[in-house]
Structure 1
Amino acid sequence: MAVFADLDLRAGSDLKVLRGLVETAAHLGYSVVAINHIVDFKEKKQEIEKPVAVSELFTTLPIVQGKSRPIKILTRLTIIVSDPSHCNVLRATSSRARLYDVVAVFPKTEKLFHIACTHLDVDLVCITVTEKLPFYFKRPPINVAIDRGLAFELVYSPAIKDSTMRRYTISNALNLMQICKGKNVIISSAAERPLEIRGPYDVANLGLLFGLSESDAKAAVSTNCRAALLHGETRKTAFGIISTVKKPRPSEDEDCLPASKKAKWSHSVTQAGVQWHNLGSLQPLPLGLKPSSHLSLPRTRIQERQLWISRQRDHTPKNRL
Structure 2
Amino acid sequence: MAAFADLDLRAGSDLKALRGLVETAAHLGYSVVAINHIVDFKEKKQEIEKPVAVSELFTTLPIVQGKSRPIKILTRLTIIVTDPSHCNVLRATSSRVRLYDIVAVFPKTEKLFHVACTHLDVDLVCITVTEKLPFYFKRPPINVAIDRGLGFELVYGPAIRDATMRRYTISNALNLMQICRGKNVILSSAAERPLEIRGPYDVANLGLLFGLSENEAKAAVSTNCRAVFLHGAVARPVPMAGSDCIRCHGESNGEALLCSLT
- Judge same fold: TM > 0.5, yes or no: yes
Deviation at 1:145, TM superposition (A): 0.2
2:119 is aligned to 119
What are the residue-to-residue correspondences of 1:295-314 with 2, within 5 Å? Answer: none
Secondary structure of the corresponding residue to residue 177 of structure 1: helix
For 2:252, the equivalent position in structure 1 comes to none
Distance 1:94 1:167 in 2: 38
For residues 235 and 123 of structure 2, the distance between their equivalents in structure 1, rounded to whole angstroms, comes to 8
Structure 2 unaligned blocks of 5 or more:
239-262
Q: Separation in 1 of the partners of 2:47 and 2:211?
A: 37
Separation of aligned partners in 2, 1:2 and 1:41: 35
1:11 equivalent in structure 2: 11
1:233 and 2:233 aligned:
yes
CA-based RMSD: 0.8
Deviation, 1:74, is 0.6
> What is the number of residues matched between the two proteins?
238
Q: Which residue of 2 aligns with 1:104?
A: 104
What is the DSSP-based 3-state SS (H/G/I as helix, E as strand, rest coil) of the residue aligned with 1:172? helix
Q: In the alignment, is the contact (CA less than 8 A) between 1:204 and 1:217 conserved in 2?
A: yes
User: Are positions 1:67 and 2:57 aligned together?
Assistant: no
Task: Tell me the alpha carbon deviations over residues 282-307 of structure 1, each in whole angstroms, 9 at most, x when there is no partner.
Answer: xxxxxxxxxxxxxxxxxxxxxxxxxx
Residue 185 of structure 1: how far off its partner (Å): 0.2
Per-residue deviation, 1:160: 1.0
Matches within 5 A, 1:197-236: 197-236=197-236
Q: SS of the residue aligned with 1:233? A: helix
SS of the residue 2:26 aligns to: helix
1:75-123 C-alpha deviation (Å, 9 max, x unpaired): 0000000000000000113331000000000000000000000000000
Residue in 2 that maps onto 1:81: 81
Could you tell me how far apart the structure 2 residues matched to 1:133 and 1:94 are? Answer: 30
Counterpart position of 1:35: 35
The 3-state SS of whatever aligns with 1:237 is coil
User: Aligned letter for 1:212?
Assistant: L
Written as runs of structure 1 = structure 2, the 5 A alignment for 1:132-151 is 132-151=132-151
Q: 2: distance between equivalents of 1:155 and 1:19? A: 20
Is the CA contact 1:28–1:199 (under 8 Å) kept in the aligned structure 2? yes
Contact 2:2 2:226 in 1 (8 A): no
Q: Give, in whole Å, the separation in 2 of the partners of 1:168 and 1:94.
A: 34
Kept in 1: contact 2:173–2:210 (CA 8 A): yes
Q: Percent identity?
A: 91
TM superposition score normalised by structure 1: 0.73
The answer (yes or no) to whether the contact 2:90–2:121 under 8 Å persists in 1 is yes
Alignment check: 8 A CA contact 1:151 1:184 kept: yes
Structure 1 counterpart of 2:139, which letter?
Answer: R
Match status 1:154 vs 2:154: yes
- Structure 1 residues 209-255: Cα deviation after superposition (integer angstroms, max 9, x where no partner): 000000000000000000000001011128xxxxxxxxxxxxxxxxx
Name the CA distance, whole Å, in 2 between partners of 1:231 and 1:125: 13
Amino acid in the other structure paired with 2:43: E
* 8 Å contact kept, 1:40–1:80: yes
Q: CA deviation at 1:2?
A: 3.5
Amino acid at match of 1:31: S
Aligned to 1:47: 47
Deviations 1:121-149 (A, max 9, x none): 00000000000000000000000000000
5 Å matches for 1:175-194? 175-194=175-194
What is the alpha-carbon distance in structure 2 between the residues aligned to residue 165 and residue 105 of structure 1? 21
SS where residue 77 of structure 2 aligns?
strand
In the TM superposition, residue 59 of structure 1 has moved relative to its aligned partner by 0.3
- Give the SS at the match of 2:236: helix
State the match for 1:196 in structure 2. 196
- Structure whose alpha-carbon radius of gyration is higher: 1
Could you say which residue in structure 2 is the equivalent of 1:165? 165
Flag as ranges the 4+ runs of structure 1 deviating above 6 A: none
Return 5+ residue gaps in structure 1 as ranges: 239-321
CA contact (8 A) 1:186 1:225 kept: yes
